Chain A
């Protein structure tokens, strides 16, 4: 990843979009990276099988925060299965980066993993 990309991210890092707690949500999940100390909570509001709104709180590095912020923007309106199928390549596309070093892949993925976890918890609640 190029350093100029980092510079481009700094504003979004300091003032991320979709940051904060939704007033009304169906599920929330927390995720934690033991090597980095990154900690995020995701809040999801569903509407007949699609994501109506999503937000997050927490702290992380530039890559994890920007990835999660952009992810939130990208998946509003999407169905659970579509998000479940997303992978690292989709995250890279979202943040416009071709190469992420092996050691930073967990940073890029922690947001997507938290969202997937939250969607599972939505599904579990729906069954009950």
Chain B
């Protein structure tokens, strides 16, 4: 972690120095969305002032610049996860990526899909919809530490077509062993989908090493703009996928009696794309690379350990995350006798931003945590130990006043 200077890093994020409710902002809602560095904010302005045109279509000089910007962004992002550019599809977010695959892969009556209890609604609902077409959907269970039941994957049912799993749970913070799960899926002849929305922002993710056929993440959780996300589709499984949205730039030839589609990624990028978003995400990746994903991971680990340790001193605190040996920066909790929204409200008065509610994971929160919502703090590499100390002190103060 040599050379990791969090004070210098924070200067790159203008919003972090803006007061909230008259207090210094402590932004601890990074699992919902991250803040943006100047490199991304200024870059988007630069794009519209210098590069804007509709890429891949017109041939004038400006369109060429936009095409280069869009293409280079795809290359940078591919390299970031060790993929090839023709395996990178730009989408709006992870939700769209999962919906795309659920509609573009062919599923037949009697096929089986395995998702898990740890998933965000976006990795449950698109698959559940396929039940109407006669597809079976299994929900893989978790143990008391919220680790997935690996035995399930060792004996995958014969008709399993796809195994889908989050790399990191957005509630329990569990980091799942997606490498083993992908391998077990392949051994059983199934495809492997990894929802990496909560992991790609925080650690080095190498798709070839993980072995997944599909992997998705959202740009806005990793310093990029809102509305841009990535779906990785391994070259090995691209053949035979059906188009998702139909329209411009996803076709090779259109005759009224015969249509030929483009290959991946173009076939999945119908219509004018979010070029500003892709360009901005490329700049976010540059920024992350400059800090170094290994440095980010190491710093966040020490920050997370500091948080969990400090939390032990807070009376009446129930912690629902971090039980797994492998945990991310997510800290889900409740304070005795207060609703999570009220905790979030009272922390907000102190300038501390957290999330409260179901976190789009209602089955897990209700069936496994047996509560009607939790509060959640989630860290990123621009957070500091002193912000965590403020957070912990505020929890103690809330306890004293309202407990």
Q: Is the CB–CB distance between B346 and A3 below 8 Å?
A: yes
Which residues from chain B contact A10 at a C-beta distance below 8 Å? Answer: 402
* Chain B contact residues, CB within 8 Å of chain A: 337-342, 345-346, 349, 356-358, 362, 365-366, 371-373, 401-402
Q: Which residues of B contact A36 (CB under 8 A)?
A: 339, 341, 356-358, 372-373
Determine if B358 and A37 form an interchain contact, defined as CB atoms under 8 angstroms apart.
yes
Select one of B345, B365, B373 contacting A6, CB under 8 A.
Answer: B345
- Chain A residue with the shortest CB-CB distance to B373: A37
Q: Which residues of A are found within 8 Å of B346, using beta-carbon distances?
A: 3, 6
CA A7 to CA B403, docked complex, whole Å:
11
Q: A14-B337, A35-B357 are in contact. Are A7 and B372 (CB under 8 A)?
A: no
Which of A14, A61, A62 has the largest number of chain B CB atoms within 10 A? A61
Determine if A59 is an interface residue (Cβ-Cβ < 8 Å): yes
Taking a contact as CB atoms under 8 Å apart, the answer to whether B372 and A59 are in contact is yes
CA distance A3 to B338 in the complex (A): 15
Contact B357 A61 (CB under 8 A): no
**Residues A36-56 near B (CB distance < 8 A):** 36-39
Interface residues of A in 4-18 (CB under 8 A from B): 6-7, 10, 14
Q: Could you tell me the distance between the alpha carbons of A37 and B369 in the complex, rounded to whole angstroms?
A: 13
Q: Name the contact of A34 in the complex, choosing from B345, B358, B371 (C-beta under 8 A).
A: B358
23 example contacts (A-B, Cβ-Cβ < 8 A) are as follows: A6-B342, A6-B346, A7-B401, A7-B402, A10-B402, A34-B362, A35-B358, A37-B365, A37-B366, A37-B371, A37-B373, A59-B339, A59-B372, A60-B339, A61-B340, A61-B341, A61-B342, A62-B338, A62-B339, A62-B341, A63-B341, A63-B342, A104-B345
User: Which residues of chain A have C-beta atoms less than 8 A from B341's C-beta?
Assistant: 36, 61-63, 104, 107
Taking A37-B366, A61-B340 as given, write out 20 further A-B residue pairs in contact, using a Cβ cutoff of 8 Å, ordered by the A residue number: A3-B346, A7-B402, A35-B357, A35-B358, A36-B357, A36-B373, A37-B358, A37-B362, A37-B365, A37-B373, A59-B339, A59-B372, A61-B341, A61-B345, A62-B341, A62-B345, A63-B341, A63-B342, A104-B341, A104-B345
Q: If A7-B401, A10-B402 touch, does A38 touch B345 (CB 8 Å cutoff)?
A: no
A37 touches B372 (CB 8 A): yes
For A60, list chain B residues within 8 Å (CB): 339
Which residues of chain A are within 8 angstroms of B340 by Cβ–Cβ distance?
A: 61
Q: 7 tightest CB-CB pairs across the interface, nearest first? A: A37-B372, A61-B339, A37-B373, A61-B341, A62-B342, A61-B342, A3-B349
> Cα distance A74–B342 when bound, in Å?
24
Q: How far does the alpha carbon of A39 sit from the alpha carbon of B345 in the complex, in Å?
A: 19
Cα distance A107–B357 in the bound complex, in angstroms:
12
A59 and B341 alpha carbons, distance in the complex (Å):
12
- Chain B: minimal CB distance from A89 (Å): 21
* Chain B residue contacts of A39, Cβ below 8 A: 372
Residues of A near B356 (CB, < 8 A) are 36
In the complex, the chain A residue whose C-beta lies closest to that of B348 is: A101
Q: When chains A and B are docked, how far (Å) is the Cα of A104 from the Cα of B339? A: 13
- Cα separation A47 to B340 with both chains bound (whole Å): 38
Which residues of the partner chain A approach B366 to less than 8 Å between Cβ atoms?
37
Are A38 and B372 neighbours in the complex by a CB distance under 8 Å?
yes
In whole angstroms, what is the CA distance A63 to B356 when docked? 14
Residue numbers in A under 8 Å from B357 (CB-CB): 35-37
Give the CA-CA distance A60 to B349 in the complex, in Å: 20
CB distance from A114 to the nearest CB of B (A): 16
Instruction: Give the Cβ gap from A64 to chain B, nearest Cβ, in Å.
Output: 8
- The complex places the Cα of A39 from the Cα of B401 at a distance, in Å, of 25
Residues of A within 8 Å of B365, CB to CB, are 37
Of all chain A residues, the one with the shortest Cβ separation from B362 is A34
Q: Which of B341, B356, B373, B401 has the most CB of A within 10 A?
A: B341
Instruction: Tell me the minimal C-beta distance from A87 to chain B in angstroms.
Output: 22
CB neighbours (8 Å) of A3 from chain B are 346, 349
User: In the assembled complex, which residues on chain A have CB atoms less than 8 Å from the CB atom of B342?
Assistant: 6, 61-63
How far in angstroms is the closest Cβ of chain A from B371? 8
Shortest C-beta distance, B266 to chain A (Å), equals 37
Chain A residues, CB < 8 A from B402: 7, 10
Contact code string A108-120 (vs B, CB < 8 Å = 1, else 0): 0000000000000
Give Cα A39–Cα B373 distance, bound, in whole angstroms: 11
Which residues from B are CB-within-8-Å of A104? 341, 345
From residue B136, how far is it (CB to closest CB) to chain A in Å? 26
Q: Which B residues touch A62, using CB under 8 A? A: 338-339, 341-342, 345
Docked Cα-Cα span, A35 to B345, in Å, equals: 15
* Chain A residues whose C-beta falls within 8 Å of the C-beta of B349 in the assembled complex: 3
Identity of the chain A residue whose Cβ is nearest the Cβ of B121 in the assembled complex:
A34
* In the bound complex, CA of A82 to CA of B341 (Å): 31
Query: Could you tell me the distance between the alpha carbons of A91 and B337 in the complex, rounded to whole angstroms?
Result: 24
Complex-state Cα separation, A28 to B216, whole angstroms: 45
Q: Which of chain B's residues have a CB closer than 8 A to the CB of A37?
A: 357-358, 362, 365-366, 371-373
